Amino acid sequence: MDDQKTARPSRRSGGRNARKMMRAAPLAADMRPVRPGMTGGQYKPLTEAEVVRIHEAAVQILEEIGLSLAPESGVKAMRAYGAVYSPKDERIRFPRTIIDKALKDANRQMTLFARDPKHDLTLSGTRVHYGTAGAAVHLANLQTGEYEESTLEHLFQAAKIVDHLDNVHFFQRCLIARDITDNRAMDLNTLYASIVGTTKHIGTAFTEDAFAHDCIDMLHMVAGGEAAWRARPFVLNSNCFVVPPLKFATESCEVMETCIKAGMPVLLLSAGQAGATAPAPLAGALAQAVAECLAGLVYVQAIQPGAPAVFGTWPFVADLRSGAMCSGSAEQAILTAACAQMGQHYDLPTGAPGGMADAKFPDAQAGSEHGIGNVTAGLAGLNMVYEAAGMYGSLLGFSLEGLIIDNDVLGQCLRTVRGLEVSDENLDIERIKSVCLEGPGHYLSEAQTLAKMQTEYFYPELSDRLSPKEWAEVGKPELIAAAVKKKDQILAGRTSAALSPELDQRIRETFPIYLPKELL
């Protein structure tokens, strides 16, 4: 006992100033209370028997119904892999043995690379990462209270802000550059604006196969050559390869083939809407999405076995009274969690939508919808939680200030995913005995308290935790005003993801780049 007391650190080691300096010092990445890739999987909306039933339903759908409208190149590749094409109804069907073969060939240990390696994402097991997506056509402008058409500059601003947010781990295109009417120029500029906005992993889409080739040429230039790109592909192709129910999207499939051959990871995105383009029962919508993504997995393996692909079951929910999307609903949260569980059943990297809101701006409704959707997806162990920040108006609007507010929300969600650790250190009965029987009767001055303050607890940056009295004394600060202030501070600075002047000039001479240099 005496030895233990001697070994225990002093409760007041270093004094008040030393403790303040320790609290202010940045923690090593592996010591932070929340961080990318925390392990979820605690929430399972499906029993094991129900998971098997969903799988069996998906297999039956693929064997008996199959999919139509695959491009000729895809039909040829999938037939060579073992799928069956029927000229009579022009549908391709998938015997169980071929599905099993694709699952065996699939890449299970994916790393999504970033331009800065510190932002690389490991997709395995139930590791959780939050990021943007959504392709909104409006900017939800908090300062005017209006929805306005989104532009290329808005997209760049979103990427630039994401680069400053610890709890938003990747950036997928969240806004459409509606000020660009030419599709080739829009694809090129979307990619360019994302690259110069953030060094985190990027996801984007390509309208046509030819435009994908152009964008890949740009990526080779940014990476320093094709070999360097293939070694660390830092952009993912978000590919809506199907048009539910059970039809291949011909042009998107052609894009997907090009991306796979170019070494680019793909997100196999099946986005049916329950009650419209997918069955109304949630289980039926899930089974159809699983079937479509399994067909996509066969397609990928037929083009190149082991090519990196995210299993993107992405079923949405409609309010059946009106047909309107209700992306912030409890039903959406359950479906997304079930999607994570099905991906884990196959041991595949998973991606699905998370913290979306039907609310039009950050408010109480938006906070509840974002929180419920994101924490449910995280607890389910979804690898890639898309649309997790900034999305409003049932995916029609994106808010830059909301993106910043959601960074705090995601930190809280990650802390929930982390749970609590039961260990000898955390259950130190001798410490409790010392405080209660020999010490001051509180733990405020314990060295352990200071250490755990840093590593055990998450502290939101903008959310208010002051007492009402303290809050009044500092002028009653408002959350949205704080988010606007931080947005303005970030956008006033230079981007940390800018390319070298020489490379940037070469890209501008090669491609029609519309983002002004002075914004970088």
Q: What is the pLDDT of residue 28?
A: 82
Q: Which of 134, 222, 133, 140 is nearest to 170 (CA)?
A: 133
Predicted model pTM: 0.94
Q: Which pair of structure tokens corresponds to residue 14?
A: 């270093």
Relative orientation angle of helices 400-418 and 364-379, to the nearest 10 degrees? 40
Q: What is the pLDDT of residue 4?
A: 38
Residues ≥6 apart with Cβ < 8 Å to 150 = 136, 137, 138, 139, 175, 176, 177, 178, 398
Q: What is the pLDDT of residue 56?
A: 98
Q: What is the pLDDT of residue 7?
A: 41
Q: In the chain, which residues have pLDDT < 70?
A: 1-25
Q: Which residue has the tokens 């999607």?
A: 339
Q: Where are the domains of the chain?
A: 48-101, 107-418
Distances (CA, A) of 79 to 59, 86, 156, 229: 17, 11, 42, 31
Residues ≥6 apart with Cβ < 8 Å to 130 = 167, 168, 169, 354, 355, 374, 378, 385, 388, 389, 410, 413, 414
What's at 385, amino acid-wise? V
Q: Which pair of structure tokens corresponds to residue 307?
A: 């090519």
CB atoms within 10 A of CB 87: 6
HSE-CB at 17 with a 13 A cutoff on CA atoms is 0
Distance CA 62, CA 217 (A): 36
Residues ≥6 apart with Cβ < 8 Å to 480 = 142, 362, 401, 405
Q: What is the pLDDT of residue 217?
A: 98
Rg of the chain on CA atoms, in Å: 25
Q: Please give the full DSSP string across 378-414, using - where no structure is assigned.
A: HHTT-SEEET-SSEETTTTEE-HHHHHHHHHHHHHHH
Q: Which pair of structure tokens corresponds to residue 221?
A: 């230039």
Q: Is 484 exposed, middle or buried (0-12, 13-18, 19+ CB in 10 A)?
A: middle
Topology of the domain covering 107-418: TIM Barrel (3.20.20)
Q: Is 137 exposed, middle or buried (0-12, 13-18, 19+ CB in 10 A)?
A: middle
Q: What is the pLDDT of residue 20?
A: 52
Q: Helices (DSSP H) in 65-182: which residue ranges? A: 72-81, 96-105, 152-162
Q: What is the pLDDT of residue 11?
A: 42
Q: Does residue 112 contact residue 236 with C-beta atoms inside 8 Å?
A: yes
Q: What is the pLDDT of residue 8?
A: 43
E strands, 302-429, where?
Answer: 309-313, 316-319, 324-325, 351-353, 384-386, 391-392, 397-398
Phi-psi region of 385 (alpha: psi -120 to 50; beta: other; left: phi over 0): beta
Burial 15-27 (b: 16+ CB within 10 A, else e): eeeebeeeeeeee
CB atoms within 10 A of CB 381: 24
CA dihedral 499, 504, 507, 508 (to 10 degrees): 140
Phi, psi angle pair for 433, to nearest 5°? -60, -45
Distance CA 368, CA 357 (A): 9
Distance CA 428, CA 253 (A): 58
Q: Are strands 397-398 and 138-141 parallel, antiparallel or unpaired?
A: parallel
Q: What is the pLDDT of residue 15?
A: 52
